């Protein structure tokens, strides 16, 4: 049970179920990693809608949980040693939930590190590069006269899609036969690139056939569909 008086975030976003894991998020590519994961593993949780367009991550209550001012973040009232655990950075949260639930991350040491490697690949490359492409193609950066930044991130995003295309040769999922947190970390970003960012033609997505088929397989999972719509605006 979460003692809400101990956590400033709970004064602004109170928990109805303080005994459940608390998720503070928004359905962006980084946010949906955690909601998809929670839907996949079936752990009871409560999702709070954080409105980044109103700078809610920069409020003192949110910053007390994540000093970096970004969604997603969680508080697990039943963390290690039965104590509450506060966590930010979606990759760290995926690893934590995989270990807590014993799901979607192999216990075989070599496979486990290989999976973590692909999660880090997403965190360090796919997310930052696709995000910059979105900025320069769809958002404020679109107005910049100098098109070199757009071209740089377009090329790099295409290159990263090529890395995924090669990895998926002869594999249904990033880790082969087993769907894992590596897929969860990347799915929302590829969907966003060709959807919300309108970059399908820009990156010539249709040449990456295996990535397209992998995305379809992922989006066909009911937990992915549910997770993509969480949290709802309240």
Ligand X SMILES: N[C@@H](CCC(=O)N[C@@H](CS)C(=O)NCC(=O)O)C(=O)O
Would you say 23 and 72 are in contact if contact means Cβ atoms under 8 Å apart? yes
Distance separating alpha carbons of residues 112 and 218, to the nearest angstrom: 20
Output the smallest distance, CB 9 to ligand X, in A. Answer: 14
Output the smallest distance, CB 156 to ligand X, in A. Answer: 17
| Interacting positions 1-60 with ligand X (CB under 6 A) | 28, 30, 52, 57
Distance separating alpha carbons of residues 234 and 231, to the nearest angstrom: 9
Q: By CB under 6 A, tell whether 63 contacts ligand X.
A: no
What contacts 7, CB < 8 A, 6 or more positions away? Answer: 64, 65, 75, 84, 86
Output the smallest distance, CB 232 to ligand X, in A. Answer: 17
What contacts 116, CB < 8 A, 6 or more positions away? Answer: 95, 105
How many residues bind ligand X (CB under 6 A)? The answer is 11
One DSSP character per residue, 118-152 reads HHHHIIIIIHHHHHHHHHHHTSGGGG-S--HHHHH
Output the smallest distance, CB 123 to ligand X, in A. Answer: 6
Closer to ligand X by CB, 66 or 180: give it. Answer: 66
| Interacting positions 83-102 with ligand X (CB under 6 A) | 89-90
Output the smallest distance, CB 68 to ligand X, in A. Answer: 7
Stretch that binds ligand X, among 65-73, 101-109, 188-196, 205-213 (CB under 6 A): 65-73
Stretch that binds ligand X, among 63-71, 158-166, 174-182, 187-195 (CB under 6 A): 63-71
What contacts 118, CB < 8 A, 6 or more positions away? Answer: 167, 174, 175, 182, 185, 186
Q: Considering only residues 32, 71, 97, 119, which one is a binding residue for ligand X as defined by CB under 6 A?
A: 71
Stretch that binds ligand X, among 64-72, 134-142, 159-167, 172-180 (CB under 6 A): 64-72
Stretch that binds ligand X, among 35-43, 69-77, 110-118, 149-157 (CB under 6 A): 69-77
Output the smallest distance, CB 145 to ligand X, in A. Answer: 25
Distance separating alpha carbons of residues 182 and 163, to the nearest angstrom: 14
* Token pair belonging to 187: 């799915």
Q: By CB under 6 A, tell whether 70 contacts ligand X.
A: yes
First to last CA, the chain: 24
Quick one: which of 160, 158, 175 has its CA closest to 214? 175
- Which spans of this chain sit near ligand X (rule: CB under 6 A)? 28, 30, 52, 57, 69-72, 89-90, 123
């Amino acid at each position: 049970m979460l003692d809400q008086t101990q956590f400033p975030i709970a004064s602004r976003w109170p928990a109805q179920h303080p005994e459940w894991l608390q998720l503070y998020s928004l359905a962006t590519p980084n946010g949906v990693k955690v909601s998809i994961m929670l839907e996949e593993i079936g752990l009871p949780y409560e999702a709070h809608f954080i409105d980044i367009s109103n700078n809610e991550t920069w409020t003192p209550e949110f910053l007390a949980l994540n000093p970096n001012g970004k969604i997603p973040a969680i508080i697990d009232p039943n963390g290690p040693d039965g104590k509450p655990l506060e966590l930010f950075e979606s990759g760290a949260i995926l690893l934590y939930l995989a270990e807590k639930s014993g799901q979607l991350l192999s216990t075989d040491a070599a496979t486990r590190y290989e999976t973590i490697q692909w999660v880090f690949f997403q965190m360090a490359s796919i997310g930052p590069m696709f995000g910059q492409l979105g900025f320069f193609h769809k958002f404020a950066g679109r107005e910049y006269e100098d098109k070199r930044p757009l071209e740089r991130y377009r090329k790099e995003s295409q290159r990263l899609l090529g890395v995924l295309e090669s990895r998926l040769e002869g594999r249904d999922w990033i880790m082969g036969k087993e769907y894992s947190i590596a897929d969860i970390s990347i799915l929302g970003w590829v969907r966003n690139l060709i959807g919300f960012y309108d970059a399908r033609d820009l990156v010539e997505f249709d040449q990456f056939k295996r990535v397209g088929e992998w995305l379809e397989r992922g989006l066909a999972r009911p937990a992915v569909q549910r997770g993509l719509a969480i949290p709802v605006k309240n």
